[in-house]
Amino acid sequence: MVLELKKPRPVWQIMFSTHHTDVGLLYTITGLAFLFMAGVLAMMIRTHLFFPGQGVLISDSVTFNRIFTVHGLTMLFLFALPVANGVGNYLVPLMVRYKDMAYPKLNAIAFWMNPVGGVLLWLGFSDTSWVSYAPYSVIRAPGPAADMMIFGLKILGISSILSSINFVVTILKCKHPDLPLRKVPLFAWSMMTVSLMTIVAMPSYAAALIMLLTDRLGVSGFFNPSMGGDPIAYLHLFWFTFHPEVYIFLLPSIGMMYEIIPRFSRKPLFSQGSGVFAFVMLGLIGFASWGHHMYSTGMDFTTKVVFMIGTLAAVPASGMHVFNFLATMWGGRIRFAAPMKFAVGGIALFFSAGAGGVLNSAMPLDFISHGTYWVVGHMHLFLTGTIAFGFVGMVYYMFPLITGRMYSEKLANIHFIGMLWGSVQVFYTQHLLGLEGMPRRIYDYPAEYTSWTQLNQIATIGAWILGASFVAFLINLIYYSAKGKEANMDDPFGLGGKYYYPHQAKNPHHIGY
Amino acid sequence: MKRIIAVSIIALIALALVPSIHFAHAQEKSAKQYINLRAEVWNEFFRMTTAAFTVGAVVSGTMIWLVWRFRESHPKNQTPTRWEKLDDPTTGNYEKEGH
Amino acid sequence: MGHDTAEWVFIGVVIAILVYVGVDSWIVQKEVEEVPADAETIKVTGQQWFWSFEHADGTKEISTLHLKKGHAYNFEIYSKDVMHSFNIPDWVVFEDAVPGHVNHAWFAPDQTGEFPIQCREYCGLLHYNMRGSLIVEDTP
């Protein structure tokens, strides 16, 4: 067990360790730190949009553009991926009953690329928007910022490929011989699925980044129409990576819910088989739908139909997960401690995000929704409503395991209610803003559109509630990890029995363990 | 119970059909020479949202009921589940006499 | 009901709904993609950060577009520099302007008035202000 704060160690020992629990801890802390940094940027964006007019909070549009770019990049690459990898590092070796990750040094290297990439992204503060569509990112995006973003993302991409290789090898080659693959816990299955997806998807974006860089240097013209290139090629390369990437962000969160829900329902999982099947299906079908991001780029009817079918095909598999969760809860005796609350809230919002996704994939509705705040609301409902809910639930779940202390359930309640309320208020309202026609990524909107102003103000208040709830989270993380009540390590959540940690981590640095 | 299910299914079907009737009527009025593009697209949107909200009502209703009925403090939920005698209930199975 | 039956029923229902969504949007998309044969062509050019228009008879307009009620119009959408997105929200007209490509969108206004035109794809500094207006006039 890793009792970091009950049995303190010098910080360098954790930093230079290659043990999976230490690397997992570093990943998780880095991810959460970047969550709060990018959250501050989000609060700035929302506060700025409270009133129409320029200079409400942010004095010029370049700064605004830079802020939403870095907010997006940080949340995706420096929060979602590291936290998933952190929890994966903690649990996957234990779940497959191996002493460590397959390549411990590679693991540490993959982690240490994250701060480097993060520093490049934050010092560059590029204004290309996180998608950095060519040719804007080639011919107009200002100087070293965009190049630093390209290098930062390059490093983060390599890092995620390395850690993916590590997970795949750990699960497939280092798993205990007595443990058949189909019985591997579903969280480990989700990590394996997303790792395989990363290995397939990421090279396309890596290539696109290199091409973008050489285009920017002027030695090539892959995406520059004035040199015979085609911007649409960039979109294909980009979305071929980033539609699967959506599932790469999502599936670990689903896997975490698979860890939390049966345990707090005091009941076996409804069906391991359908969970595995749905993970594999999503892993495959995730690659069949990237084109739905490009309906409006002049795609012909047949191509649109193909991508619409590919998108809709992912729904039954997602539905199987939801069914599995609900059927597991059915007939249980559920204890609603913080992790379970977040897991259930995550499932509820997962459904509404998914329903919005079905609407998005219907071809004619693209005229209404694409490029508006509808899309912003939709993908934030996934990223905050589902992914962050799962991650936060898992952080609460592992809190006693990591610190040996208990978080404050009262603060966790405030966090949960604020996060659920805030997410619904801000992201549902953004859907409505999209229907009113408000484009995304705008610095200012005309004051005469009163409905935009009103909806923006509702959304901003929701965002403040969401942001305030994370203050409760921060207090829980910092104060209660040092001063909280000591946890009953056999059964910290009072579920009865000695089954909270079926998998025990042994860190050689902990004397006495 | 059966009657409730039947009535709710009929109500859901009616809910799904109502918008299509209403908007089909609206379409007739505006379509003159060309098809009315925005009416077509928005009708589609309202049909889709009707479907989405119908399914959403079922799913979220089920979830709220589950959370209410199977919380551990529910009066009918005082006896432990049959898996709780295991060291780890999540490792149990659904065979008749769960062991 | 057995252990698996419930799940199969559930998946069946989900697939049925998805088939409905797919078929319905196929039908509607097929309908709205058909450009009327007598539609008048209007060239739309997006550049940082305004829209310019060229009518079939050669008259040019910047930012404000005048059209006649009861006619069908087919937009040919070009871009001079970076990607933009030509959008008239009130008329559900929306298509990207991609440099090096020509895209199409059409509509037939049946109501007079002034409607906003905007850019819906991030295009840099003044993206938020890349606005114009469409004025639909009554034909005598």
What does the pLDDT look like over A186-196, one tens digit per residue?
999 999 999 99
Q: What type of residue is A431? A: H
Contacting subunits of C (3+ beta carbon pairs below 8 A) = A, B
DSSP letter at B81?
A: P
Least confident of A106-115, B2-11, C21-30, C110-119: B2-11
Give the CA angle between residues A21, A25, A27 to the nearest 5°: 115
Q: What is the pLDDT of residue A506?
A: 59
Q: Residue A501's pLDDT is what?
A: 60
pLDDT above 90 (res A498): no
DSSP for A7-25 reads S---HHHHHT---HHHHHH
CB C63 within 8 A of CB C130: no
**Contact at CB, B42 and A266, closer than 8 angstroms:** no
Q: CA nearest B68 in A: which residue?
A: A334
A198 — pLDDT class (breaks 50, 70, 90): very high
Q: What is the CATH number of domain A11-483?
A: 1.20.210.10
CB contacts of A372 in chain C (<8 Å) are 120
Q: Has residue C114 got a pLDDT over 60?
A: yes
Determine the distance in angstroms separating the CA of A211 from the nearest CA of chain B, rounded to an integer: 38
Q: Residues A208-266: pLDDT tens digits?
A: 999 999 999 999 999 999 898 999 999 999 999 999 999 999 999 999 999 999 999 98
Q: Which of residues 26-85 of B touch A (CB under 8 A)?
A: 40-42, 44-45, 48-49, 52, 55-56, 59-60, 62-63, 66-67, 70-72, 77, 80-81, 83-84
pLDDT band at B98 (very low <50, low <70, confident <90, very high): very low
> What is d(CA A230, CA A49) in angstroms, rounded to the nearest whole number?
34
* A270-292 average pLDDT score: 93
Phi, psi at residue C118, to the nearest 5°?
-145, 170
Q: Which residues of A touch B63 (CB under 8 A)?
A: 326, 344, 347-348
What is residue B10's predicted lDDT score, i.e. its pLDDT? 81
The count of CB pairs under 8 A between chains B and C is 45
| DSSP H/E element including A481 | helix A450-483
Instruction: Report the gap between the CA of A132 and the closest CA in chain C (Å).
Output: 9
Where do we find the tokens 């997602």? A318
Report the 10 Å Cβ neighbour count for A332: 24
Q: What angle do CA A21, A22, A25 make, to 5 degrees?
A: 85
The answer, yes or no, to whether residue A426 has pLDDT greater than 80, is yes
**Residue A478: CB atoms within 10 Å:** 10
- Two tokens, residue A46: 């929302």
CB contacts under 8 A, A 226-265 vs B, are 262-263, 265
> Of A128, A117, A148, A160, nearest to A213 (Cα)?
A148
Q: How far is B81 from chain A (nearest CA, A)?
A: 7
Which residues in B lie closer than 8 A to residue C3 (C-beta atoms)? 94
Q: Cα distance from C125 to chain B (closest Cα, Å)?
A: 31
Percent of chain A with pLDDT over 70: 95
What is the pLDDT averaged over residues A4-30?
Answer: 84
Query: Do the Cβ atoms of A332 and B70 come within 8 Å?
Result: yes
Span A91-107, mean pLDDT? 91
Amino acid letter for position A40:
V
Question: What residues of chain A lie within 8 A of the CB of C101, using their CB?
Answer: 230, 232, 297-298
- In the numeric block, the tokens 């649990």 are attached to A91
Closest CB to B48: pick one of A267, A269, A359.
A359
Predicted local distance difference test score (pLDDT) of residue B90:
81
Q: Does A326 touch chain B (CB under 8 A)?
A: yes
Cβ-based neighbour number of residue A301 at 10 Å: 12
The verdict on a CB contact (< 8 Å) between B60 and A266 is no
Interface contact B33-C24, CB threshold 8 A: no
Query: pLDDT per residue over B25-76, tens digit each?
Result: 555 444 457 888 999 999 999 999 999 999 999 999 999 999 999 999 999 9
Q: Does C8 score more than 50 pLDDT?
A: yes
DSSP state at residue A287: G
pLDDT band at C139 (very low <50, low <70, confident <90, very high): confident
Q: Specify the amino acid at residue A318.
A: S
**What percentage of chain A reaches a pLDDT higher than 90?**
79
Report pLDDT digits (tens) over C34-88. 999 889 999 999 999 999 999 999 999 999 999 999 899 999 999 999 999 999 9
- Asked if B41 and C108 come within 8 Å (Cβ–Cβ), the reply is no
* Residue partners of A168: CB distance under 8 A and separation at least 6: A192, A195, A196, A199
Please, which pLDDT band fits residue B20 given cuts at 50, 70 and 90? Answer: low
User: What pLDDT does residue C75 have?
Assistant: 95
User: What residue type is assigned to position A241 of the chain?
Assistant: T
Q: Which secondary structure element, helix H or strand E, spans residue C134, and what is its range?
A: strand C132-137
Encoding tokens for residue A288? 């069949």
Length of chain B measured in residues: 99
Nearest C-alpha of chain C: how many angstroms from B40? Answer: 7
Average pLDDT over residues C113-117: 95
Q: What are the φ and ψ backbone dihedral angles of A240, each rounded to 5 degrees?
A: -65, -30
Alpha-carbon distance A391 to A85, whole Å? 11
Q: How far is CA B69 from CA A262, A452, B2, in A?
A: 16, 41, 20
pLDDT band at residue A512 under the 50/70/90 scheme? very low
Are A142 and A179 spatial neighbours (Cβ–Cβ below 8 Å)? no
Determine contact, residues C78/C45, Cβ cutoff 8 Å.
yes
Which chains have at least 3 CB atom pairs separated by less than 8 Å from chain B? A, C
Give the containing element (helix H, strand E) for A163: helix A145-173
The shortest CB-CB distance from A348 to any of B44, B52, B63 is to B63
pLDDT for C3 beyond 70:
no
Report how far residue A145's alpha carbon sits from residue A161's, in angstroms, rounded to the nearest whole number: 24
**CB A46 within 8 Å of CB A384:** no
CA of C19 to nearest chain A CA: how many angstroms apart?
9
**What is the pLDDT of chain A when averaged over all its residues?**
91
CB C33 within 8 A of CB C107: no
State the smallest CA–CA distance between residue B49 and chain C in angstroms.
11
Taking 70 as the threshold, does the pLDDT of residue A502 lie above it? no
Residue with the two structure tokens 């006693």: A400
Closest-CA distance of chain C to residue B9, Å: 13
Predicted pLDDT of residue A3: 52
pLDDT, mean of residues A294-301: 92
Burial state string for A423-446 with b = 16 or more CB within 10 A and e = fewer than 16: bbbbbbbbbbbbbbbbbbbbbbbe
Nearest by CB to C25, from B34, B36, B44: name it: B44
Task: Select the residue from C4, C9, C93, C110 to test the B interface by mutation, using most B Cβ atoms within 10 A.
Answer: C110
Q: Which residues of C touch B62 (CB under 8 A)?
A: none
pLDDT at A2 over 80: no
Cα–Cα distance measured from residue C16 to residue B72, given in angstroms and rounded to the nearest whole number: 36
Contact state of A496 with B84 under an 8 Å Cβ cutoff: yes
Q: What is this model's ipTM?
A: 0.93
Say yes or no to pLDDT of B92 above 90. no
Locate the domains of chain A by residue range: 11-483
Q: pTM score, two decimals?
A: 0.91
Confidence of residue B99 (pLDDT cuts 50, 70, 90): very low
Tell me, what's the pLDDT at B31?
Answer: 45
CB contact under 8 A, B41 and A365: yes
- Other CB atoms within a 10 A radius of the CB of residue C52 amount to 17
State yes or no: pLDDT of C27 exceeds 80: yes
**Quick one: what percent of chain C has pLDDT higher than 70?**
97
Which residues on chain A are in Cβ contact (under 8 Å) with B70? 265, 329-334
Q: What is the pLDDT of residues A353-391, one digit of tens each?
A: 999 999 999 999 999 999 999 999 999 999 999 999 999
Q: What share of chain B is helix, strand, coil (3-state, %, to 5)?
A: 70, 0, 30
The verdict on a CB contact (< 8 Å) between A364 and B59 is: no
User: d(Cα A396, Cα A416) in Å, to the nearest integer?
Assistant: 11
Classify residue B20 as exposed, middle or buried by CB count within 10 Å of its CB (0-12, 13-18, 19+).
middle
DSSP code string of C65-124? EEEETT--EEEEEEESSS-EEEEEGGGTEEEEE-TT--EEEEE---S-EEEEEEE-S--S
- Subunit contact B48:C36, Cβ cutoff 8 A: no
For residue C62, the 8-state DSSP code is E
